[in-house]
Amino acid sequence: MNNIKFSELIEKIQKGETEQFLLDNSIEIEYDLIDLYTKDTVNINCEVRFFNAEEIVNEIFINVDGIDYENICPLNMLEDLVNDFTPDNPDLNSTEIANKILSYLENDA
C-alpha cells in the first residue's frame, strides 16, 4: 500500500484531489472507513498509511505485521478539518494548515 507524507495529503485535500489519489494508488477502502496511521511520530512529515477501520482494532496504537502504528485520525475527519481551517486562513500554505491541524488533534480532538 502506498504511503504519503501528512503535509502532502493535506495539500491533496486542499486541491480536492483526495479521491483521485485513492484511485491512483489502488486504495480500495470505502472512504468512510479509511483510518490514517503512521509508524513514525505524528508530525507534518510523517508517512501516512491507510487502514480499513473494519479490519483493525479501534485503538490509538496498533501492531500490524510486527510494525507499531499510531493513529492520526479518520480520513473524513481530516478532510473536514482541512475544509474548516482553510476558509478562515486563506493565506496559509498546506504546511501551515497541517501544523494547525496537528495542534488541534493533539490538544482539542
pLDDT in tens, 40-86: 889 999 999 999 999 987 889 999 999 999 999 999 999 999 998 88
Q: How far is CA 72 from CA 34, 61, 69, in A?
A: 11, 10, 9
Q: Is the pLDDT of residue 109 over 70?
A: no
Q: Is the pLDDT of residue 89 over 90?
A: no
b/e per residue, 44-67, with b = 16+ CB within 10 A?
bebebbbbeeeeeeeeeebeeeee
| Entry pTM | 0.87
DSSP H or E stretch at residue 91: none
Rounded Cα distance between 96 and 50, Å, is 23
Q: In what order do the strands lie in the sheet with 61-64?
A: 4-5, 47-52, 34-38, 67-74, 61-64
> What mean pLDDT do residues 11-34 have?
92
Nearest to 63 by CA among 44, 49, 46, 45: 49
Identify the pLDDT of residue 2.
Answer: 66
Domain boundaries defined on the chain: 4-108
Q: Is the pLDDT of residue 1 over 70?
A: no
CB 49 within 8 A of CB 3: yes
Q: Is the pLDDT of residue 23 over 80?
A: yes
> What mean pLDDT do residues 15-30 have?
91
Identify the pLDDT of residue 108.
Answer: 76
For a pLDDT cut of 90, what percent of the chain falls above it?
66
The identity of residue 53, as a single letter, is: A
